[in-house]
Chain A
Amino acid sequence: MSKVIKEEKIIKEFNTVGKNVEKYDGLPLVTGQPLFTDDIFLPNMLYAKIMTSPYPHAEIVEIDESEALKIPGVRIVLSYKNTPRIAHTTAGQGYPEPSPYDHFMFDKKVRFIGDRVCAVGGDSIEIVEEAISKIKVTYKELPYVLDPEEAMKGEVIIHDEDDISGVYDKNRNIISHVEIPIGDVENELKESFYKIEEEIYFTQPVQHTPIETHISITYFDEYGNLIVRSSTQVPFHIRRILSKILEFPMKKIRVIKPRIGGGFGVKQELLIEDICSLMTIRTKRPVRMELTRKEEFISSRLRHPSKIWIRLGADRDGKLNAIDMRVLLNNGAYGTHGPTVLFNSGSKTLPLYNKVKAVRFIGDAVYTNLPVSGAFRGYGATNGYFALESAMDDLANLMGIDPIELRKINHISEGETSPIFEKLGEGKEGITQYIESSALSKCIEIGKKEIEWEKWRGKRVRNGNLVRGVGMAIMMQGSGIPLVDMAGARAKLNDDGTLHLFIGATDIGTGSDTILAQILSEEVGIPYEDIKVYSSDSDFTPFDTGAYASSTTYVTGGAVKKVGNEIKRKIISYASKLMNENPENLIIKERSVVNIITGEKISLREIGERSFYDFEQEQIEASASFISPKSPPPFAAHFVLIDLDLETGKIIPIKYVAVNDIGVIIHPNLAKGQAIGSIVQGLGFALTEELIYSKRGVMLNPSFLDYKLLTSVDIPEINVKFIETYDPTGPFGAKSVAEININGPAPAIRNAVLDAVGIKLNSLPMTPEKVFKAILNSGIKI
């Protein structure tokens, strides 16, 4: 029995929730069962590949595929010449999508090096590659622009098509613009005793690097249904977008998501399914496409590179008077996720300091002729926090106070709200929210102790070429998108007394199948082992928006809890007739319905069996949906101890402490895995990961040799701690854990360097070279 304790009182006790039950797919995964998209082989399967643009911006004058079609085994070439032209967004978001409709399956124009030109399907990948080398494309090169500030001048127009929509200002390449003033920022700044005049922060393009790149296999079943087996986070959005852009009846499309080798946001996107599907429709053959690692880097999606300006004003005792934040996102050639990532860089960060008198958020998401940015764990908040939490340390530095104290004075607490919640939503206005659970203050205290803050802070302990520093950052995220994300769940009772759970939710390695079964088990009162989970099949499971926005535990969990309650009521109601007892006196316990007065019981097996075969026959089942007006934020405080090597500029993380309030924890090991995974990804973002472009926009390091992910020997001791709170709106008090922890490493390390040597590193990643240059410029004695 696990317990949730608040102020020394036990507030909840659970049977399954809070236990490290065996991961639902753990055994088949570790024994190498054929669970993934690519683990099937279909006879007559075609292999597909996309031919991509060698120019950053060009018109396609002519595509001559005649030589390619002569090669034996080449079956189909798709291009703008023979595909429907229907504007859409590749973003897998709720409908209508906040992203602009600026993408076509194939277009007459290419907008970055790596953009789609045409696609070939053939009997083997070698044949297809040869075919691509034989396709002659004549381009008319156009001027291009890689820098978003240049792009906003409008000298080069990247999207001039008449048939696109949802773009804020095509003539200046602005996808989305926002300007939210709350109070009088200029005046508050003027009146402030302490001011951070203007600090500018830069974040770099990085990739999600899932172990499994994008892969889809499409085929027709015996009834002429198009089956799309795909590595996706959003099967229902894929079905909807496919039906629209292929002009193919939705009824005949079935999207199946098998096990997934990682997503992190890059699979919240329709990237290859359309091509495979259309090839299957045209050739009637199964079609397989898998991106190579290089294609995954260049032609899938990235985290938005950004430039962020921050101004802060505070009075003598550290109370914030003004936060002025301006964000410029480089969206690359298409606007997918542009408006929402832009809004989130403010909406997920600014409410953290809700006591401020005036806030302003100005933002632009801009087209350039670079590879495309999209959804990435953290979703704008990661960029925003690097800037905001760095600026907070700059302010504390200026005031000469402990940065922890500055945060304590200003951060949001339980029962409070922020005007930002209402002003900034998903590319539009948001929804007012009060914080119903927060242990942020406690997280800060515990982390401070764990990292030995007092021992290291400000001491600049030097050991030869190494100087030690300690830094921290605090953060929040959300749990789903309020009044947008909806999830359905269905459950049925079998004649052996077990339950089947059907959910549209998409387990992309997160463990959501496991924790959703735990929630059902807890609610109904049957063992976790008695639940079988079916998920992510657009024909057989109910709708779910998908795996993004830290939503599954909270939103789908909410639906599962409701369905559990409903089926429990139905089981008891059925049993009450069998037992001739008032349902109020019956509970489900030890695989039986038990009369709490007499102790009489009847097993779930008997109930299941009799409901099928002899007594008031019916299928006992239930379905439910969940949508919330809230998105309760999880909170975290991160601390890092580093050594800085003055002779090389190398930052060596020594110890990392992350203290989380994610509500009630459903599965401690899985939650910890999410936290550690986020931190490792965040450390790579902070220290080494960066995609580098030539002056023409050629990506120079699209490989694992030259794109530096951290390896196991680069990662410090990571200590994750949870302070449980109970959020009254979440299933059994749960909030979310998927994204929040990626926001901490960059500002915490940056602030540790500030502590160690007084240098402000405002541009990511903090590579040895950059740090070394800053050390030389600062005149510090090496």
Chain B
Amino acid sequence: MREFEYYKVKNLKEAINLSKKFGKNKRFLAGGTDLIVRLKDNLIKEENIIDIKNIEELKGIKEVEDEIHIGSLVTFSEIIESDILKKYSPLIVEASKKVGSPQIRNKGTIGGNICNASPAGDSIPPLFCEDAKFFLESTNGSRIVNIEDFFKGPGKTILKEDEILVKIILKKWKENEFGFFNKLGQRNALTIAIASSCIKIKKSDGKIEDIKISLGSVSPTVIRAKKVENILRGLKEYKKDEIIKICDEVKEEIDPITDVRGSREYRIEVSKYLVFEALNNLLNIRG
């Protein structure tokens, strides 16, 4: 491991000012479950590490009218135990349960998962289905961006040099909303997704009034399968063969790679069934 300078900051302002000072030559440290692994493998070039773990402004899960605000330092374990999220945004809870192991869930944060910007980040597909908004702060003040505008590629985001993710903003679920998160790994724990799918559905009178489908690990970033959404929206009849055929369209929307976890071909084929299986859990599909 290379040598680096370590700073522990007490508040947001200090963090931002320091990061302004170091520009590109710094990294924030939250839970460290991504960063420390990469530090040990000598994959981090930056020479200054700013530890943000003590910043109160980045902590806690709050109800704000019809919204929920999740601080970027909130850990997966906190998400899993949150009554607010269980009630108003259960998809992120389900996805968080699938992250790593108890140790990783105790240390790893949602903000770290987002800013690490891996296409395999498990919290990200549900956030796409929720149309999440990210509250960012820099020396130039704050801004709110839509999740769809945030990711630029594997490990790449629109975050400016001195910008920090403060919190994630979600809309509370309504009564007729349902969701399902589906992760395929090589084993059942401590596994990076080969592919994952997440669906949120709004039903009325047995009809799909609205649907959002996102997929992880099958493109340079997590993506929404909007073509498939469009075909499904308004559907009333759920026949297995037809639904599978519709799911097959997801192939047009993804662009996976081959790596040690799985081949491009497998990811393409299996994505269709991951979407189907999620639908199968939400709709009364026949025969």
Assembly CA distance A769 to B274 (angstroms): 14
| Closest B residue to A701 using CB positions | B260
Q: Is the CB of A464 within 8 A of B260?
A: no
Verify B262–A708 contact, CB threshold 8 A: no
Does A714 lie within 8 Å of B189, measured CB to CB? yes
Question: Which one, B187, B244, B280, contacts A714 given CB within 8 A?
Answer: B187
CB distance from B280 to the nearest CB of A (A): 7
7 interchain pairs, CB-CB under 8 A: A648-B273, A688-B187, A692-B260, A708-B186, A710-B187, A768-B184, A768-B270
Most buried by B among A692, A769, A773: A769
B194-238 interface with A by 8 A CB criterion: 194
A647 to B197, CA, bound (A): 13
Question: Which positions 259-287 of chain B face chain A at CB distance < 8 Å?
Answer: 260-263, 266, 269-270, 273-274, 276-277, 280
Known A711-B188, A711-B190: A647·B277 in contact at CB below 8 Å: yes
From the candidates B101, B192, B266, name the one contacting A772 in the complex (CB within 8 A): B266
Are A688 and B189 also in contact (CB < 8 A) when A648-B270, A772-B270, A773-B266 are? no
| In the bound complex, CA of A647 to CA of B266 (Å) | 11
Interface flag for B191 (CB, 8 Å) = yes
The 3 nearest A-B residue pairs measured at CB: A647-B273, A769-B266, A711-B189
Question: In the assembled complex, which residues on chain B have CB atoms less than 8 Å from the CB atom of A768?
Answer: 184, 186, 194, 266, 270
| A633-649 residues at the B interface, CB under 8 angstroms | 647-649
User: Are the CB atoms of A708 and B276 closer together than 8 Å?
Assistant: no
Indicate if the CB atoms of A769 and B263 lie closer than 8 Å: yes
B177 to chain A, nearest CB (A): 24
List 18 additional contacts besides A708-B187, A714-B187; criterion CB under 8 Å. A465-B280, A647-B276, A688-B186, A688-B187, A692-B260, A700-B260, A705-B192, A711-B190, A712-B189, A713-B189, A714-B188, A768-B186, A768-B194, A768-B270, A769-B262, A769-B266, A772-B270, A782-B244
Binary CB contact string for chain A from 755 to 782 against chain B (1 if under 8 A, 0 otherwise):
0000000000001110011001000001
**Contact among B262, B269, B277 for A465, CB-based, below 8 A:** B277
Instruction: List chain B residues, Cβ under 8 A from A710.
Output: 187
What's the Cα separation between A647 and B186 when bound, in Å?
A: 14
Q: A465-B277, A705-B192, A769-B262 are in contact. Are A648 and B184 (CB under 8 A)?
A: yes
Of B184, B276, B280, the residue contacting A650 (CB under 8 A) is B184
B188: A residues at CB distance < 8 A: 711, 713-714
For the complex formed, measure the closest distance between the CB of B262 and the CB atoms of chain A, giving whole angstroms. Answer: 5
Report if A706 contacts B (CB, 8 A): yes
Rounded to whole angstroms, the CA-CA distance of A700 and B261 in the bound complex is: 11
Q: Which residues of A contact B191 (CB under 8 A)?
A: 708
Q: Residue of A at shortest CB range from B101?
A: A711
A residues less than 8 Å from B260 (CB atoms): 692, 700-701, 706
Question: Which chain B residues border A465 with CB–CB below 8 Å?
Answer: 273, 277, 280
Contact of B192 with A648 in the complex, beta carbons under 8 Å: no
CA distance A782 to B273 in the complex (A): 9
Chain A 685-725 per-residue mask, 1 if CB under 8 angstroms from chain B, else 0: 00010001000000011000110101111100000000000
In the complex, A649→B186 CA distance in Å? 11
| Cα distance, A782 to B262, chains bound together (Å) | 20
Chain B residues positioned under 8 Å from A647 (CB to CB): 270, 273-274, 276-277
A465 to B285, CA, bound (A): 13
Give every chain B residue within 8 A of A706 (Cβ-Cβ): 260-261
For B276, give the chain A residue with the smallest CB separation: A647
List the A residue with the shortest CB-CB distance to B3.
Answer: A126
In the complex, what's the smallest C-beta–C-beta distance from A743 to chain B, in angstroms?
22
State A700–B260 Cα separation when bound (angstroms).
Answer: 7
Residues of A within 8 A of B269 (CB): 772, 776
In the assembled complex, the CB of B193 is this many whole angstroms from the nearest CB of chain A, namely 12
Residues in A neighbouring B192, C-beta threshold 8 A: 705
Shortest distance in angstroms between A590's beta carbon and chain B's nearest beta carbon?
50
Q: Across the interface, which residues of B come within 8 angstroms of A688, CB to CB?
A: 186-187
Distance (whole angstroms) from the CB of A352 to the closest CB of chain B:
31
A711 partner residues in chain B, CB cutoff 8 A? 101, 187-190
Q: How far is the CB of A770 from chain B (nearest CB, A)?
A: 9
